[in-house]
Structure 1
Amino acid sequence: MERLLRTIFWGSLLGGMLWIRSSGVHAQHTERVLVTVIEASNAKTDFDVDNDEYRDQLFKLFSYTGYSQLDKTVADLERSKRQLVKLPNDYELLLTLQGEEADRVLVQAVIRKGNSQFVDTILAILRPGVVFLGGPPSEDGTIIIVLEIGF
C-alpha cells in the first residue's frame, strides 16, 4: 500500500511539472509587436508621427525632410505563423516569430507585392526595443516600417 501511494505521489508530481513546463513554453512563443507605418518624403517638412521618440532615429537613419504616420497596428506573433500587415500601394508586410536569442526576439520580415518579394530578412530585436525598416516606394517618397517590442 505504501509503495502504491508513493508511486501515485511521484506520478502526480511529475505530471504537474510537465503540465507547468508545457504551459510555460507556449507562453514564450507569443510576442506582441507594435507596427507603425510612416511615409518619408522630401516634398514635406512636417513631422506628423504619434511617437516623438522616433524623431531622432528617423533623422539619423534616413535623409528625408518630412515624416507622416499612415498607420499603427498591433500584431500578436506566434512562433512559425505568418501575420499579415497591409502597406500602401498593395504592398504587404508578413511577420513571423522565429524564436528568441538571449535578450532578443527573432522576427522574419517579408515585404511583397503580388507574387514579387522585395525583402526577406530575419531581425533580432532587443526586448524592449525598436527596429526601423526601409520599405517600398510611396507616392511622395518611401515607406518606413517601425517594429517595436516591449511597448
Structure 2
Amino acid sequence: MRLRLPGLLFLLMLTGLWVSFPTTVLAKERCRVSVDTILASRQGSGVDARLKKDVSELQNMFNYTSYQLLSSKTLNLKKGESGTVSLPGNRRLKITPHNIHENRADIALQMMKKKRTVFQSQIQLLNRGSLFVGGPKYENGNLIFKISGSY
C-alpha cells in the first residue's frame, strides 16, 4: 500500500488536531473552586495572618474588628458536577458550576442545614477571581465565605 505525501500530511494534521482538541475543550469543562470560611466578630481585634492579603477588602465590606480563618477547601469540578464543603454549625455548601465561558463561570451555591436549604444563589465568577459572601451567625460573630475560582 502506497500512501502519497499529501495524504500522509493530511493524516498527520488530523492526528495533531485530535491530540490538541481535547485539551482545549477540557480546559473549559473543569472549574477549580476554593472556599475559605472566615469567622468575623466584633469581640476582640486582630486578623488571622493567613488573611493578610484580604484584610483591607474584608474591612471595607464588613464592619467587624476580628477575622479568623476557620477552614479552606478546594474542589475540582466538571461542568454540571456538584461538590460539597462542610461548614461550621452542621451546615454544608453545595457548589455546582453550570457554564464556563470565556473568562466567567456561572456557579450555583446552595447552603443546607440538616436536609433543609437555607440559602441559594447563582453567581458569576471571573477566572482567577474571588468574592466574599456574608453568611449566618456563628458563635460570637458571623461566617463569611471567600469563594475563588479558576478554570
Give the TM-score of the pair, scaled to structure 1. 0.83
- What is the alpha-carbon distance in structure 1 between the residues aligned to residue 115 and residue 33 of structure 2? 25
Q: How many aligned residue pairs are there?
A: 149
Q: Which amino acid aligns with 1:144?
A: I
For structure 1, which segment, 97-106 or 79-88, has the greater mean C-alpha deviation from structure 2 after superposition?
A: 97-106
Farther off after superposition, 48-57 or 100-109: 100-109
Show CA shifts across 1:22-42 (max 9, x none): 343223211222221101111
Question: Gapped runs of 5+ residues in structure 2?
Answer: none
Q: Give the aligned CA root-mean-square deviation in angstroms.
A: 2.3
Specify the SS of the correspondent of 2:43. Answer: coil
8 A contact 2:79–2:100 mirrored in 1: no
2:115 aligns to what?
Answer: 115
| Identity over aligned pairs, percent | 24
Answer yes or no: is 1:129 the counterpart of 2:106: no
Please list every run of 5 or more consecutive structure 1 residues that lacks an aligned counterpart in the other structure.
none
TM-score, L = length of structure 2 = 0.83
Q: Indicate the SS of the match to 1:142.
A: strand
Aligned with 2:52: secondary structure? coil
Secondary structure at 1:110 match in 2? strand
Aligned counterpart, 2:144: 144
The 1:130/1:18 distance shift into structure 2, 3 A limit, reads same
Tell me, yes or no, if structure 1 residue 27 matches structure 2 residue 27: yes
Q: SS of 2:95's equivalent?
A: strand
Change in 2 beyond 3 A, CA 1:49/1:142: farther
